[in-house]
Structure formats: C-alpha cells, structure tokens
Structure 1
C-alpha cells in the first residue's frame, strides 16, 4: 500500500485535474468571442450598418442592423456554415475542436493514472508519475496552442467576416473596424492550463521529497568509515 503522503498527493492531483475538466467542458459550451463590425452594402461608401457575431464552438448568432436593408438576427451552426466558406477559418476552427477533444482525453488519462497511483505502488513506467507528467503536460501544451490558434483565426484569418458574409447569402457586404471581445469559454482555457501545471507540480513535489528522504536514509552508510563497513 502507498504511504499517506503519496496517496494525498496523487489523489489531490486527480481532484485538480477533475476540476480542470469541468471548467473545460463548461467552456466548450459557452460563448468564445463576440465581434462587432461596421457594415455597408458592397461598393457603398456609407457604413451606416452594424453586424454583431456571437461565436461559440458549435453554434453562433448573427445580429445585423441595416447590413444591408432590414434588421436581421439569426442563429446558425458554426461548422456547417464554415464548410460553405471553406479556407483557413474552417481548418483552424476544426483544429481547435480536435485539440479540445484531445485535452479531454489527456486529462482523463491523468485522472485515471493518479487514482491508480493513489491506491497502489506501480513501477516508474507510464502508469506511474511519468504517465501523469505526460498526460498533464500534453493537456497544458494543447490548451496553450488552442489559445493562440483561436485568436489567429479570429483576427488574422477573418472567421467572423466570412461567417457574416455567408449568412448574408446573396447580399454582398463590406465590413470594417472589427472589435473583438473574448468570451467566457475562451477565458476558461487559462485556469484549465494552470490546473494542469499544478497537477504536474504536485506530483513533482512528492517525487522530490521522496527522493530526498531516500538519500537521507542512505547517507549514514555512505559516510561511515571504511573500517566499520569492513565489519
């Protein structure tokens, strides 16, 4: 049976990772960004309309005011709408969704390995601390990549403009002066990343303490005079 100290560290690591999964799962269903743009009919110099795009991972809402013509607000499914536009926004958004799924898988693996170590003494293999390091490190790295990719897709690859134009259908519009506010779903990636790193730090702290204790137990024998060791 593992020591109380080992059980505490690994079980607490599992708790931290469980909380991080809860935050990530809630974040995946929440709003990720809102983009506000000035709008005008294509070729018209008067930008007297506005387009507000609320975007989550799988669903969104477009609210157009005089953009062009009458006001119009409608919901849409993000991935099917992006399929109509194609290009980099579709690829990057699909990449974000896939990486989030991998984050959930890695965090689940970290929980299972932590629970296993909390009730047993496995060897130093992928089912030991190495497994926790690997799974939690992947979770942290992937979430950091998602933070960057989503911002790039929103500000560089113009996913918001493509979606507004696609929803407008045959009505060609010009959009400018985009202002973006990141939503709760995106922001929850940050505590998810931090909790994944804390899970790693907790296991590292235990391993360091266990190694130090082991070295202290071996030191009297190593420092003993050779004459005593001969007997």
Structure 2
C-alpha cells in the first residue's frame, strides 16, 4: 500500500483535475463571446442600426435593431450557419470544440491514473507519475491553444458579419465598429489550465520529496569510511 503522503498528493491531484473538468464542462455550455456592430443599408452612410450576436460554442442569438429596416431576434446553430459561407470560421470553431473534447479526455485519464496511484504502488510507467505529467500537460497546452484560436476566430475572421448577413432578410447591409467581449465560457478555460498545472505540481512535489528522502538515506553509506564499508 502507498504511504499516506503519496495518497494525499495523488488524491489532491485527482481532485484538482476533477474541479477543472467541472469548470470546462460548464464553460462549454455557457456563453463565450458577445459581439456588437453598427449597421446601415448598403446605399446609405447613416449607421442607425445595430446587431448584437451572443455565441456559445454550438449555438447563438442575434438581436437586430433597425438592421437593415426592422428589428428581430433569431436563434441559430453556429457551425451549420457558417458552413458554406465562412470556411475559415467553420474550421477554427470545429478545432476549438475538438480540442476541448481532447482536454476532457486527457483530464479523465489523469484522474484515473491519480486515483490508481493513490491506492497502489505501480512501477514507473505511463500508469505512474509520468502518466499524470503527460495527460495534464496535454490538457494545459491544448486549453491554451483553444484560448488563442477562439480569439483569432472572433477578431480575424468574418464570423460575426456572416451571422448578420444571413438574417437581414436578403437586404444588403454595411457593417462597422465590430466590438467583441469575451464571456464566462471563455474565461473558464483559464482556471482549467491553472488547475491542470496544479495537478502536475502536486505530483512533482511528492516525487521530488521522495527522491530527496531516498538520496538522504543513501548518503550515510556513501560517506562512510572505506574500511567500514568493506565489512
């Protein structure tokens, strides 16, 4: 059976990772970004309308006021709406969702490995501390990539404009002044990353302490006089 200290460290690592999974699971269903734009008819220079797009990872709501003529509120599915209209946005949005799914998978593996180590003494294989390091590191790295890709999709592509153009009742419009504000779903990825790193730190702390203790136990023998070590 493992020592109490080892059990506590690996259980704490599993707990940190479990909390991170709960956060990212909730975040995937929450709002990620809110984008506002000024709107005008194509033949007018007077931007008297506005459009507000609120997105989760999978669906969204567009609220139009005098854009282009009247106002309305419409709900839509993100990827089906973008398909065939904005290829770059579809690819980036799909990547974000796939990477988050991988984050959940690697986090689940990290939890299982941590729990296994808390009740047993496996050899130094992928089922030991190395497994936690690999899984949690991948989770942290992929989550950082998600943060970057989503911002790129919101700011560097015409994703928001595509949603507005689809729901302007076939009337051409001009859009300007796009401003995006990240929402709770996006920001929950940050504590997920931090907790994944904390899970690694907990295991590393135990491993470092165990290694130091082992070296200290060997030191008296290494420092003993030669004539004593011969007997």
Question: Do Structure 1 and Structure 2 share a fold, with TM-score over 0.5?
Answer: yes
Mapped pair 1:227 → 2:231: no
The CA distance in 2 between the partners of 1:194 and 1:168, in whole Å, is 42
Gaps of 5+ in 1: none
Distance 1:171 1:147 in 2: 34
Assess if the C-alpha contact under 8 Å between 1:84 and 1:166 holds in 2.
Answer: no
Give 2:177's aligned residue. Answer: 177
Q: Which residue does 1:31 correspond to in 2? A: 31
Q: Distance in 1 between matches of 2:81 and 2:144?
A: 26
1:92 Cα deviation after fit: 0.3
Report the equivalent of 1:51. 51
Q: Is the 8 A contact 2:34 2:180 kept in 1?
A: yes
Distance 2:20 2:72 in 1: 38
> What is the CA RMSD across the aligned residues, in angstroms?
0.9
Other-structure match for 1:117: 117
Contact 1:132 1:200 in 2 (8 A): yes
Q: For each residue in 1:146-201, what CA deviation from the matched residue of structure 2 results, as whole angstroms up to 9, or x when unmatched?
A: 00000000001121112221233522221110111100000000000000000000
Q: How does 1:1-231 map to 2 (within 5 A)?
A: 1-231=1-231
- Conserved? CA contact 1:85–1:166, under 8 Å: no
Unaligned runs of 5+ in 2: none
The structural deviation recorded for 1:46 is 1.1
Q: CA deviation at 1:74?
A: 0.8
Q: For 2:123, what is the secondary structure of its paired residue?
A: coil
TM-score (norm 1): 0.98
The whole-number CA distance in structure 1 between the counterparts of 2:162 and 2:4 is: 56
Whole-Å separation in 2 of the counterparts to 1:222 and 1:43: 88
Cα offset, 1:79, TM superposition: 1.2
TM-score scaled by length of structure 2: 0.98
